[in-house]
């Protein structure tokens, strides 16, 4: 089955740029969605279709996807961005949806 790999945590100082990778074989050929989840809350989408920002999501959030890695980039990180972030794809071979293991963004 298809596997998405994310680092357990990424640390960044306020005002800096956070980059959260999501690795998978030929992930560049798939559409990647990114979700943010804060403690006690359901997840919410922050980027869909690799690099599209849904209505209401700040421009500080952006995405890219190429080769074997998709990346969620958060510019000018704020304390309120501290959360768990998950990537998701649909694998056409298995017709399964797959989530990455999640990355905890720590704002120092």
User: Which residues form the interface with other proteins (CB under 8 A)?
Assistant: 1, 31, 33, 35, 37, 42-45, 48-49, 54, 84, 86, 88, 90, 95-102
**Smallest gap, in angstroms, from Cβ of residue 14 to other proteins?**
26
- The residue among 17 and 94 lying less far from other proteins, judged by its C-beta, is 94
- The residue among 14 and 92 lying less far from other proteins, judged by its C-beta, is 92
Q: 62-93: buried (b, 16+ CB within 10 Å) or exposed (e) per residue?
A: bbebeeeebbbebeebeeebbbbbbbbbebee
**Smallest gap, in angstroms, from Cβ of residue 69 to other proteins?**
19
> Going by C-beta distance under 8 Å and a sequence separation of 6 or more, which residues neighbour residue 60?
74, 75, 76, 77, 78
């Amino acid at each position: 089955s298809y596997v998405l790999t994310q680092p357990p945590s990424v640390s960044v100082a306020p005002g800096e740029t956070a980059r959260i990778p999501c690795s998978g074989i030929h992930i560049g050929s798939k559409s990647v969605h990114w979700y943010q989840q804060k403690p006690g809350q359901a997840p919410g989408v922050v980027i869909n279709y690799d690099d599209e920002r849904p209505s209401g999501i700040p421009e500080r959030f952006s995405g890219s996807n190429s080769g074997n890695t998709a990346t969620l980039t958060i510019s000018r990180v704020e304390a309120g961005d501290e959360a768990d972030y998950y990537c998701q794809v649909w694998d056409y071979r298995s017709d399964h949806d797959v989530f990455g293991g999640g990355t905890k963004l720590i704002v120092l």
